[in-house]
Chains A and B, each alone.
Chain A
Amino acid sequence: MRRLADGGLIDRNQPVEFTFDGKTVTGYKGDTIASALLANDIKLIGRSWKYHRPRGIIGDGAEEPNALFQVEEGAYTTPNVRGTQAEIYPGMVVNSTNAWPSVKFDLLSVFGLFARFLPAGFYYKTFMWPQKFWMFYEHMIRKASGLGESPRENDPEHYEKTNAHCDVLVVGAGATGLMAALAAGRAGARVILADEQGAFGGRLLSEAGIVDGQPAASWVEQMVSELQNMPEVRLLKRSTVFGYHDQNYLTIAERINDHQSIAERQGPREKVWRVRAKQVVLATGAHERPILFGHNDRPGVMLASAVSTYINRYGIKPANRAVLYTNNNAAYQAALDLDAAGVAVTIVDCRSDADSALVNSVKQRKIQILFNHVVAEAKGAPVSAAVVKQLVKPGVLAAGEKIINCDLIASSGGWNPAIHLLAQSGGKVRWDDAQHCFVPDLIVQQQRSAGAANGSFTLAACLADGLQAGAAAATAAGHTAVDLTVPATDQTESFVISELWRSPNGPKPWRGAKQFIDPQNDVSVADIFLAAREGFHSVEHVKRYTAMGFGTDQGKVGNIAGMAVLAEALGQPIASVGTTTFRPNYTPVTFGAIAGPEIGGTLFDPVRKTAMHGWHEEHGALFENVGQWHRPWYYPQGDESMDEAVNRECLATRNSVGMMDASTLGKIEIVGPDAAEFLNRIYTNAWTKLGIDCARYGFMLGEDGMVMDDGVTIRLDENRFFMHTTTGGAAPVLNWMERWLQTEWPELEVYMTSVTDHWATTAVVGPNSRKVVSAVVEGIDFDKDAFPFMTSRKGTIEGVPVRVNRISFSGELAYEVNVSAHSGRMVWERLYAAGEPYNITPYGTESMHVLRAEKGFVIVGQDTDGSVTPVDLGMNWIMSKTKDYLGRRSLERVDCTREGRKQLVGLLSSDPQVVLPEGGQIVNQASDQIPLPMHGHVTSSYYSACVGRSIAMALVKDGFQRQGETIYVATADGAMLPAEITKPVFYDPEGERQHG
């Protein structure tokens, strides 16, 4: 047991038992997994994913790259929980992550051999190899490492989301954040103070200093209770601000229950706060960074500040004998803390000398300081000694070495402000030459950084900075700041640092003991040099090539050092290498938190069903998704295949009568004295002279002249039209028309209403359709001359008003019966019953596609693709020559009239049983010559039972002139299918049947 006799912020009256890799471990309330393991002298907590090297705890917070655990089992399991932040609770089940078969049994030291096959760029190089090699590697890698396991069961917990507005959001509740919140709160601002930890105080919880005449931790308590008493201040602990989006919109994940045993949990596990803040204060602190040396990934190598945390906050004696390796004087505090905890310590300082109050107090304690020295290498795993060498001058080592026996090497290479949220918000950073770190520079949102996040690395400066930032934010949000004094502190040591990123190791830095930059992804100094040698010079490319910073820690410990090493390899200053992009999330967020209360069995996307949906289900329909609609696809009988069902449905329709649910087609009512003029401008053809109760097919073009949507529009009255759009086009077409009406033609008096869901539509199709419809509908004369093709009539079914449109998407005699959706199923059932003497056959979208293709009717979006004009479709007849309309001028552009445009044709494959592949490319010769010019592609292709052979439609360059020619359709397996170019009409070419 390494627990000190007293001290720390743990509750020694509340022991907490949990299991680690199946063994019972005891800590105290207030411990994290990491502190409890260290207190029990458990140093080896996992293995690295690539080399399978033993790994220990490095840090004490969000930056931790190694201490990632699988917490809980079964449905409650969570992967990659950072042990440095996760609080322990009774019965917690913790397992190491990268430890197959176990952390102790080093079966995979064989990976030391294997590792030479895993250099930087491994993934890229491997993907270039034949796939079977990759499968071999993947099998080994997944077995050997894997960063945690996803749960295999549904999540039993629930999650919430909430929205909040505030004047000032303060991110981070260390000394800076507490002062900022106090200053803003006293000014009367509505404040949210969020901190990722279970307790407020930030680094003050790790330090032994005095603030306002009392120990730092008690000053924190006093501040928190004062803030709690302000009604407009909301305190959020265990709450990570993980995203900083546009317009001061920030997202916070509050972990409400993860610190309690599953039995004790009440309410949601997590809550995501979506906050819109007038002003933001980023008091996110800074992350200490290591100095890199050989074997610096071994258990027993830690950050100096983390050592102070484990001593002061958790009451742990972290070692018996320690080496503290530093390039700055702030790290000397860790030497004092180690000394006070009874740990013998030697300071290895790369600088020639140091002089400050803090350094002098270390000197007074007779702690050994080796100036002009570096730690070259760690020995042992866990660490048993440090190999120390003398510097002759920067970058050059003297001959000889000292071996210092120790079980801890703490290092401090300086501090990196936590600029992640600033960068996410669009802010820019600059390189600070004095403190050797990136600090905030340009800000673009209503925001200020303060304290260590702004490069102020002393407590005195943080307290002053926080107060000033909080007051300024409150003022900017419209409040009046009150006078407050900055509390006094004994921590006034200014920050002095010399640049040193890694211990020099000779002229070939990639040789010798590996110096690790990113321990989570096993990226070393050698990998960065290799990437630079192979020509990767941009930091973004090097990141992707080496996987540096790709882990769940996103390189919080190592990335800046990695950039410095790249700068060294390229011979450039760090400032010109720059940083990689900081993206949300700051730390990983669970999928549950993001999904929120919607988590569960059904999808969030709405499902649209027609009024007749239940009937289709009862009659065995299979459904396909068309947008959000579930449409009947086909209605198999017995053990019919899809082809058999579609053939039966098509034949029944052409030979007798079929029926289809057409309710999903978009329907828009267009009303007003200028409605006809409006349609004239929207559609390619003319509408003014269309008679009442008459229908017309229309094409809608984009202003670029390309076909956008099509459908039949009926004139219900002088000033009232009923427009059909495609199923997928309903919403975009309405937006499109409203845009022109509102922005360009406000002089037109037109009103539009979407009525898609108001009407249920049953299409009755086939030579017997008149007999069926006339048997059911009252009040309409169905005589073929009294109710001709492309007209519309009003009638009733059982007293319910219906509108019957004699229009056809199959080329057959057909009627579409529209009724209020409430009566949709009743009308469908009446028509079905009336059709039974004629073996009426319901059909779905698949047969609909075949029937229209037999007639050569296009489907916008299938036979067109946004580059097709009506001329390309051979539909010049639909374009008025006497009026302007959207897209007309574009059709005269040179590109729309040139030769070589793809034109719509029919294709008949030489083998009538072969159905050409849709999307298949069309070539002129059956040759394997490369390149083979492509002349078009198949857009629609089916087997037609009515024609007795396969049919297809295609877009072919200059296709109109190529009737009768043979082309070839290339298939994925290399075959070339011959086919003849024809007109795209395969059935009833004179179009007589629909007039029957």
Chain B
Amino acid sequence: MFLIPCPYCGERDESEFSCAGEAHIDRPLDPDALTDEQWGDYLFHRKNPKGWHQEQWHHTAGCRRYFNMLRHTVSYEIKAVYKIGEPAPEIEQ
């Protein structure tokens, strides 16, 4: 059970949140310009790193804001949380 520092509310229990998967997947501005393969990559292909992972989270049962998190998939350490639109912190894998 994580203790998650929501950038809007501070530290709250994981049970208030839901994970929305990998962060920084931008919707293509012109979908028609993409081949099926490129579009499929946007839709389905996700990183599965053993190490630091940029994730999108939702404070579903709290402030209801989406935000990004830098979390380690082995130690589960949360190195940083940052608001949507803010740059991702540097990662040393």
Contacts and interface: CB of A to CB of B under 8 A. Distances in A.
Interface of A: 245-247, 249, 274, 276, 426, 444-445, 703-704, 735, 738-739, 742-744, 746, 884, 888-890, 892-894
A873 to B, nearest CB: 21
21 contacts: A245-B1, A246-B76, A247-B3, A249-B2, A274-B1, A276-B3, A703-B27, A704-B43, A735-B18, A735-B60, A738-B58, A738-B66, A742-B65, A742-B84, A743-B56, A744-B27, A746-B84, A889-B31, A889-B39, A890-B39, A893-B36
A426 B75 CA distance: 7
A247 B39 contact: no
B31 A739 contact: no
Nearest to A165: B3
B30 to A, nearest CB: 9
Contacts of A892: 36
Interface of B: 1-3, 18, 20, 26-27, 31-32, 34, 36, 39-40, 43-44, 56, 58, 60, 64-66, 74-78, 84-85
Contact of B74 (A276, A426, A738, A739): A426
A893 B66 contact: no
Given A703-B43, A743-B56, A746-B85, A444 B36 contact: no
B2 A739 contact: no
A732 B70 CA distance: 25
B76 A889 contact: no
A973 to B, nearest CB: 40
Q: 5 tightest A-B contacts by CB?
A: A889-B31, A246-B76, A444-B75, A742-B66, A249-B1
A893 B39 contact: yes
A444 B76 CA distance: 9
Nearest to B60: A735
B20 A739 contact: yes
B66 A246 contact: no
Given A744-B27, A889-B34, A893-B40, A738 B85 contact: no
Given A735-B60, A892-B36, 11 more contacts: A247-B1, A247-B2, A249-B1, A249-B2, A739-B20, A739-B66, A742-B65, A889-B39, A893-B39, A893-B40, A894-B36
Contacts of A249: 1-3
Contacts of A739: 20, 58, 66
Given A246-B2, A445-B75, A735-B60, A888 B66 contact: no
Contacts of B18: 735
A892 B39 CA distance: 10
B88 to A, nearest CB: 14
A183 B10 CA distance: 32
Nearest to A681: B27
B66 A743 contact: yes
A892 B40 CA distance: 11
Given A739-B66, A890-B43, A246 B1 contact: yes
B68 to A, nearest CB: 9
B87 to A, nearest CB: 15
A444 B32 contact: no
B66 A884 contact: no
Nearest to B23: A743
Contacts of A743: 56, 66, 84
A164 B49 CA distance: 33
Contacts of B60: 735
A383 B36 CA distance: 76
A245 B75 CA distance: 11
Contacts of A738: 58, 64, 66
Contacts of B65: 742
A894 B36 CA distance: 8
Contacts of B26: 744
Contacts of B36: 892-894
Contacts of A884: 31
Contacts of A742: 65-66, 84
A274 B2 CA distance: 12
A743 B56 CA distance: 9
A247 to B, nearest CB: 5
A245 B34 CA distance: 43
Nearest to B58: A735
B15 to A, nearest CB: 11
Contacts of B1: 245-247, 249, 274
A129 B50 CA distance: 43
Contacts of B31: 884, 888-889
A875 B39 CA distance: 24
Contacts of B32: 889
B43 to A, nearest CB: 6
A211 B49 CA distance: 50
Contacts of B84: 742-743, 746
Contacts of A246: 1-2, 76
A672 B34 CA distance: 32
Contacts of B76: 246-247, 426
Contacts of B74: 426, 444
B42 to A, nearest CB: 8
Contacts of B40: 893
A445 B3 CA distance: 14
A738 B63 CA distance: 12
Nearest to B74: A444
Contacts of B44: 704
A655 to B, nearest CB: 46
Contacts of A888: 31
A276 B34 CA distance: 47
Contacts of B66: 738-739, 742-743
Contacts of A703: 27, 43
